[in-house]
Amino acid sequence: MEVEINLPNQISLHTLGSFLKQNQFFPSEPSAFTLSFNPNFTHLEPFVLSMLAAWADYWAEKGIPIACNNTDSKGVDYARRMGLFNYLNHASSKELNTHESAGQFVPLCKLKNSSDVAAFMVEMVPILQKHHPKYAEAVKYSLSELTRNVVEHAGGAPAFACAQFYPKSDKVSIGVADCGMGIFNSLSRAVDLSNDGDALINAIKPGVSGSTKMMYGSSDNAGAGLFYNKCIGMHLASILGYFLVMLLLD
């Protein structure tokens, strides 16, 4: 079965739910995928780029090919510059104008272990310190917790992360995504849960995630990272344009 994924010209958190429902990202037995960019214009924020990279990597591991349509449409060069096509295995002879990344953006990074997480954090420092140095440490802590949780709870699946600074809105947008086992399956190993919503609520309670069995976990893991992350995020959201997104895709 060949499956087509259609990208609209823009995806936001408000439209993400309908976008996911309208496309079959994880059908039972696909033979191939076609990722169709909007023929006129495509704007992909970091959380979408991270999601698509994680999805492409998931199927690449299973040997399922992904073809691409409308790769010459406006805005696709940005996705290529951010490294999305490295995971789509789509060759292109088109030359891209290079841009200095330091302090402006971080291309897609594949995070497989704690060392990869640390390296990504090093890439993030120039953006945070350049644009919002007063809150850089708080955001670094929050982002570290989000990325580390993938390493510990995704069941071995890598995370994909990238970031972009938007001058007009003075916003740093950060996307982190994985195609691991999901929050429900991870926490269900130690906690009695009824549904995905219940899992999400429990995940931000202190002590819950620390009781699960983790590949890279440690004995001093208290499971309070997401709880503190929520508190910091709520505070930062009231004073900054930071946009931290964690997408855990089953």
Whether residue 194 is found in the same domain as residue 128:
yes
DSSP codes of every residue in 82-136: TTHHHHHT------------TTTEEEEEEE-SHHHHHHHHHHHHHHHHHH-GGGH
Q: Are strands 171-178 and 243-248 parallel, antiparallel or unpaired?
A: parallel
Whether residue 107 is found in the same domain as residue 122:
yes
Whether residue 8 is found in the same domain as residue 54:
yes
Whether residue 107 is found in the same domain as residue 71:
no
Of 96, 128, 153, the one marking the end of a domain is 96
pLDDT digits (tens), the chain, 250 positions: 899 999 999 988 888 889 999 999 999 999 999 999 999 999 999 999 999 999 999 999 999 999 999 999 999 999 999 999 999 976 555 666 666 666 789 999 999 888 898 899 888 888 888 887 887 887 777 777 777 777 777 777 898 999 999 888 888 888 888 888 777 777 777 778 888 777 777 777 766 655 444 443 444 444 555 665 666 565 555 444 434 444 434 3
Whether residue 103 is found in the same domain as residue 86:
no
Of 80, 96, 112, the one marking the end of a domain is 96
Of 42, 61, 96, the one marking the end of a domain is 96
Whether residue 103 is found in the same domain as residue 52:
no
Whether residue 4 is found in the same domain as residue 35:
yes
Strand order through the sheet with 66-69: 2-6, 32-36, 66-69
Contact 171, 132 (CB under 8 A): no
Whether residue 76 is found in the same domain as residue 121:
no
pLDDT score for 99? 61
Taking the C-alpha atoms of residue 118 and residue 111, their distance in angstroms, rounded to an integer, is 9
User: Is the pTM higher than 0.75?
Assistant: yes
Whether residue 73 is found in the same domain as residue 155:
no
Whether residue 49 is found in the same domain as residue 147:
no
Tokens of 209: 């995630």
Whether residue 110 is found in the same domain as residue 222:
yes
Q: Give the pLDDT confidence of 51-67 residue by residue, as tens digits.
A: 999 999 999 999 999 99
Place of tokens 């600074």: 165
Three-state DSSP at 217 gives coil
Angle at 205 between CA 204 and CA 207, to 5 degrees: 120
pLDDT score for 242? 38
The residues with which 243 forms a beta bridge, in sequence order, are: 173
How many domains, the chain?
A: 2
Taking the C-alpha atoms of residue 77 and residue 155, their distance in angstroms, rounded to an integer, is 33
Which domain covers residue 34, as residue numbers? Answer: 1-96
Tokens of 125: 């420092």
Whether residue 219 is found in the same domain as residue 107:
yes
